[in-house]
Structure 1
Amino acid sequence: MIYKTIKPFTLASQSPRRKDFFTDLGIEFTVNSAEIDETPTPDESPKTYVERISLEKAHAVSRQKRNSFVLAADTAVCLGERILGKPGNEEEAVEMLLALSGHRHIVRSGYCFVNEEEGIEVLESVSTEVYFSDFDESVARGYVATGESLDKAGAYGIQGNGSFLVKKIVGSYTNVVGLPMAEVVASMVQLGIISPAVLITQD
C-alpha cells in the first residue's frame, strides 16, 4: 500500500484501466458510474468538451453519494479540433489510424472532484502530445484485426498492442491510458482524501 484512504472516495467510471490505477496504489474506493449524454455541442473545443463531460458526470453521481468525494473523468483523442471517439466498426478504425499515421495528435483528459456535502468542486484538464510513426494501410488493418481498436478512443491502446504505433509522447503517459495520475493523486492529497501510507517497522 502506498496511500491510505482517509475520506470516502467514489470513482464515477467503469473503466478497468482507471480502477487498476487506484487499486495498485492501495486507494480504497467504490464505483458508481453515470449515464449522461456525451454528444459534443456545436463549436465546442476538445478542452471544453472533456471538462464539461467530467463535471456533468461528477455531479450526476455526487447527488447519489453526497458524503463522498466523487471523481469523474473524460478522455478524448484529438486531431486538431476533431475529437476521435471509439470507432463504430473495423473500417472506421482503419480510417482513424491512417488519419493519425505520421502525425501528432493530442490526448486531453478532464477530471472533476465533487463533494456535495462539503460544497467542493475541483475541475482540471491535462493534455499529452502523441506522435505516431508513419505506417501504411496493411499495418493499420493488421492492428485492427487484433480486436483491440474497437473499444478505444482513437482506435488504439497505448498500454496494449497499439504501443508499437507510437513514436514518442510529450507529457503524461497515464493520461493517454485514461487518467493523468500524477495530477489526480496530487489533487486527492490536497483535498485530504488520501495521504501517504506510513510503514511501521519493528526492531
Structure 2
Amino acid sequence: MKEQSLNNLILASSSERRVALLKQINVKPGLILSANIDETPLKKELPKDYSIRMAKSKAEKIQSSKPGYFVLGVDTVVACGRRILPKAENVEQAEKCIHLLSGRRHRVYTSVCLLTPDKSKQHIRTVVTIVKFKCLSEQEIKYYLASEEWKNRAGGCNIQGLAGMFVLFLRGSHSSVIGLPLHETYCLLSSYFNLNLY
C-alpha cells in the first residue's frame, strides 16, 4: 500500500489539545476543521454508543464537503454510570458535574473514527478510562470553578490543568482523557501514513 502524505489528512476538530497530542506523535494534519454538528444525546443512548456516533458524525460531516481526504473524527465523553455529562457551558453546569464526580469513579470514553478517501473503509476505536476523584471540599470546588478551566470541557473536567490535582487514580489512557488516545490513533494512522518517528 502506498504511504500517504499527511497533507491528505483532515482533523475534524478545532481542539487545541488534540492538535498538540497529534504533534506529540509527529502528526500535523493538512487541514484542521470544526464539524459543528448537533451533539444532543439520543434518548437512553449509552455513553460509548454516543461517543462512537459523535466521532463518526464529525468525520462524515467534514468528508461530505472535502471528498478525497482521510478524515479523523474524535469525541470524548465523561460519564457517571449510564449518565452522559454535558460539555460545561456555564458555571452552574460545571458545578453540578464537579459535585457529581467528587469522591467517585467515573468513565471517560474517547472514540476515534478514521475515514478513507474512497469511503471504502471506516476504522473506529473506543478507549475507556476509569478515573477517580478525591472527595472535594466546597473551597476546592469554588477554587476550580473560579479558574474557568471547565469551559467547554466534557463533564467540566480539565485534568491536564487544575483538575489533575483531584485525581486519586486513573486506569487506562491518560492522553485519551485529555482528548485523544495516542496509541490507538498512532496504530490507525500508521496503516496509511509514514509518521517519520525515526
What's the TM-score once normalised by structure 2's chain length?
0.91
CA distance in 2, matches of 1:47, 1:183: 16
2:129 is the alignment partner of 1:122: no
CA distance in 2, matches of 1:62, 1:76: 23
DSSP 3-state at the match of 2:76: strand
Q: After superposition, where does 1:16-165 map in structure 2 within 5 Å?
A: 16-29=16-29, 30-117=31-118, 119-165=120-166
C-alpha separation in 1, matches of 2:17 and 2:54: 19
Spell out the pairing of 1:165-184 with structure 2 (5 A cutoff). 165-184=166-185
Q: What are the Cα deviations for residues 103-151 of structure 1, in whole angstroms up to 9, with x where unaligned?
A: 0000001110112425221112111000101112221111111111122
Using the TM superposition, name which of 178-187 and 29-38 deviates more: 29-38
Q: SS at 1:126's partner residue?
A: strand
Q: How many residues align?
A: 194
Q: Secondary structure of the equivalent of 1:112?
A: strand
Deviation digits for residues 22-52 of structure 1 (CA, Å, limit 9, x no counterpart)? 2233323111221211111111111110101
- 1-side partners of 2:65 and 2:158: how far apart? 32
Larger Rg: 1
Conservation of the 8 A alpha-carbon contact between 2:25 and 2:197 = no
Q: State the shift of 1:98 in Å.
A: 1.3
- Which residue pairs with 1:6 in the alignment? 5
Cα distance in 1 for partners of 2:60, 2:113 equals: 9
Secondary structure, aligned partner of 1:154: coil
Does the 8 Å CA contact 2:25/2:182 hold for their aligned counterparts? no
Once residues 97 and 28 of structure 1 are traced to their aligned partners in structure 2, the CA distance between those partners, rounded to angstroms, is: 34
* TM-score relative to the length of structure 1: 0.89
SS of structure 2 residue aligned to 1:145: helix
Which digits, 9 at most, give the CA deviation of each residue in 1:141-200, with x for residues without a partner?
Answer: 11111111122111120101111111110000001101111111111112x1233444xx
Name stretches of at least 5 consecutive residues in structure 2 with no aligned partner.
none
Comparing 130-139 and 9-18, the one that deviates more: 130-139
Give the partner amino acid of 1:120: K
Which amino acid is 2:78 matched to? V
Gap regions ≥5 residues in structure 1: 199-203
The one-letter amino acid of 1:89's match is N
Residue 108 of structure 2 contacts residue 129 of structure 2 at CA under 8 Å; is this kept in 1? yes
**1 CA distance for matches of 2:152 and 2:11?**
20
